[in-house]
A and B are shown apart, each in its own frame.
Chain A
Amino acid sequence: MTKYIARRILWLLLVIFVVAFITFLLMHLVPGGPWDREKQLAPQVVENLNKKYGLDQPFLVQFGKYIWGLLHGDLGVSYIYQDRGVTSIILEGLPKTATLGLVAFLLAIFIGIPFGMAAALRQNSLVDYSSVIFSTIFASIPAFVLGILLMIVFSVFLHVLPTGGWGGISYIIMPAFALAAIPAAYISRITRASMLEVIRQDYVRTARAKGLGERIVLIRHILRNALIPVLTITGPELATLISGSFIIESIFSIPGIGRLFVQGVFQRDYGLIMGSILFYAFAIAIVNLVVDILYAAVDPRIRYD
C-alpha cells in the first residue's frame, strides 16, 4: 500500500510537471505579450520590462527558472499586480474557491446519496420515478445556466438572496447549489443502481435470514457495499465540480481563483494563468489520489501492490 501511494505521488508530480510544461509552452505561443496596452509602450520600455521579468531569455531557461521557483513554493510574478507574487494572489483567492467547492461537494453528497437510497428502497414508486427524472434533468443542465436561473428566481423576483459578491452564508447558497446539481444527480443515479444490485445479493438475504434488524442490514450490509461504486465516481465528479467553479465564480462575482484565471487570460498575465491552471490541476490530481486510496481502504477486496 505504501509503495502504491509513493508511486502514485511520483506520477502525480510528473503529471503536474507535464501540465506546467504544456501550459508554459501554450502561453508562449499566444500572439502578443503582457505589455500590450491600449496605448502602446515604447519599444525600449518593453525591452526593459522583458529584461526585468526574464522574458528575453530562451524558453527552456525561463521554464527551468519557473520550475525551480515552483519547487520553493514560488509561483512567479504577476504582470498585472506588479508588486505582488502570484503565490500571494492565489492564496488570497484560495479560501473562497475552497469554501465554495467544499460546500458544493457536501451538498452533492448529502442530496445525492439519500435520494438515490430512497429511490432504490422503493423501486418503481413515485419517489423512484421523480428521483430518476430529476437526476436526469439536473445532470444535463450546465452549472452556469442553473446558476443564472436561480439568480433570476431568488434575486430578481423574490429579492431574498444577493446576486453576487462574497460575505456571509447568503452569498454562498446559490453558487453552491448550482455547482452541486450535476454531481448530486450523478451520485444519486449511481447510488440507486448500486443499491438495487446489492439488495439482491445473497449476503443480504442471509443477514435478514439470521434475524438481523433492518437497520443493521441496511447500514452494515447494504450501504457499506453499495457506496463503493459511489466513491469511484466521486473523484471525477469532484474534478468536474472544481473546474466548473471558475464560471460560477464569474457569474456570482466571487473573487476566487477561477476569476483570477479569466482575468489572467484577458490580460495575458502568464503568471496568473499558470498559477491558476496549476492550482486546478493539482486539486484535481489530489482528489483523485485520495479517492483511490479511500477506495482501497473501504473495500478489502481491493489491494494495490
Chain B
Amino acid sequence: MEATATQISARPHHTLWGDAYIRLRRNRLAIAGAVIIVLIIIGAVIIPYVSPYTFDKQDITAILEGPSREHWLGTDSLGRDVFTRLLYGARTSLAVGIFTQIIILLIGIPIGAVAGSLGGKTDNLLMRFVDVMYAFPDILLIILLRAILGGSIFNIFLAIGLVSWVNVARLIRGQVLSLKQRDFVTAARAMGGSSGYRIMRHLIPNSLGPIIVLVTFSIPRAIFAEAALSYIGIGVKPPTPSWGTMIRDGYDVIFAAPHLVIFPAIAIAILMLSFTFLGDGLRDALDPRLRK
C-alpha cells in the first residue's frame, strides 16, 4: 500500500536540463527566436556558395535599385547586392556577438570567482573596481578603447569585452558566495571533497544556468555596440559589410533610396529581438524555482 502511495506521489525523474528543455520547447516565442537565429546563421554560412553576387562586387549599371527579382533587396550606391551584403553583415554581427562573450567570460569568471572565494580585502578591492566600471558610460568607453586599439576586427571584440565583463564577474561572485553557504557544499566538504571536486561538481553546474542566460542577453548588446561603432565609422573596415556600416552608407542617400537603411535596421532589430526572446525563454526554463 505504502509503495503505491510513493509511486503515485513521485514525479517522473527529470534532470534540470531535461526539465529546462521541455519548458523551453513549450515557449513559442523563445522557439521562434531560436529558429530565426539558426536561419540567420545558416544564411550567413552558405551565402558565398548560393549568391551570384559577392559583398564587394560593384555593378555600375544597377545603382540604387529597389528590390527586384535579380536583387531581392535592391542595390546600394555602388551597385552591390543588398541581400548578399546583409548576410555577409550577419557574419560580422554573429562573430562579434559570440567572440566577445568568450572574452567576457575569460575576464569575468576568474575575477568573480577570486572575489567570491577569497573574500575580505581582495573582494572589496575587486568589487570597488567593478563599481567604477559601472560608473563609466559604457558605449563611450568602448568607442575610446576601439580608437586606442585600432586594427582588426579582433580588437573590436576586445574593446567590447574589456568593458562588458562586469556583469559576469558580479554574477559569479554572487554564485560563489551563496553556494559557499549551502548545505550540500558543506556536506561535500565534510565528506572530504577537494576544492576542485566542489568546483566541478557543484559550483560550475549550479552557475551554468545563470551564465547561459546572461550570455544570451549579452550577445545582442555586443551586436548593438558593434553596429554603433560601425555607424560612427570606427567599426569593421570597408568593404567588409556590417549592418552598422550599411546604415551609415545608406543614411547619405536616405531620401533617394530609403531601402538601404530600412533593411539593415530591420535586420538588427530582428536579430536582437530573437536573442531577447530566446533569453527570456531560457531564463524561465532554467529557473529551478519554476520546476514542476
Contacts and interface: CB of A to CB of B under 8 A. Distances in A.
B139 A247 contact: yes
Interface residues of B, number: 40
A10 interface: no
A284 B233 CA distance: 26
A136 B280 CA distance: 10
B53 interface: no
Interface string A1-35: 00000000000000110110011001101110000
A163 to B, nearest CB: 7
B204 interface: no
Interface stretch (A120-128, A197-205, A273-281): A273-281
Interface in B109-143: 131-132, 135-141, 143
A27 B140 CA distance: 13
A166 B239 CA distance: 33
Contact of B276 (A136, A246, A265): A136
B154 to A, nearest CB: 17
Interface residues of A, number: 46
Given A19-B132, A136-B276, A243-B139, A31 B258 contact: no
A148 B183 CA distance: 53
B85 to A, nearest CB: 17
Given A142-B268, A265-B143, A152 B273 contact: no
Given A136-B280, A265-B234, A276 B132 contact: no
B60 to A, nearest CB: 25
Contacts of A266: 233-234
A229 interface: no
Contacts of A137: 273
A142 B244 CA distance: 12
Contact of B269 (A29, A141, A152, A243): A141
Interface of B: 131-132, 135-141, 143-145, 147-148, 150, 220, 224, 227-228, 231-234, 247, 251, 254-255, 258, 261-262, 265-266, 268-269, 272-273, 275-277, 280
B261 A148 contact: yes
B140 A280 contact: yes
A163 B132 contact: no
Contact of A277 (B144, B261, B268): B144
Contacts of A140: 220, 269, 272-273, 275-276
A145 B223 CA distance: 12
A145 B271 CA distance: 12
A246 B269 contact: no
A277 B144 CA distance: 10
Contact of B148 (A29, A141, A251, A262): A29
Contacts of A148: 247, 251, 261, 265
B260 to A, nearest CB: 10
A277 B137 contact: yes
Contacts of A22: 132, 136
Given A30-B147, A265-B234, A142 B272 contact: yes
Contacts of B148: 26-27, 29-31
A16 B139 CA distance: 17
A90 to B, nearest CB: 14
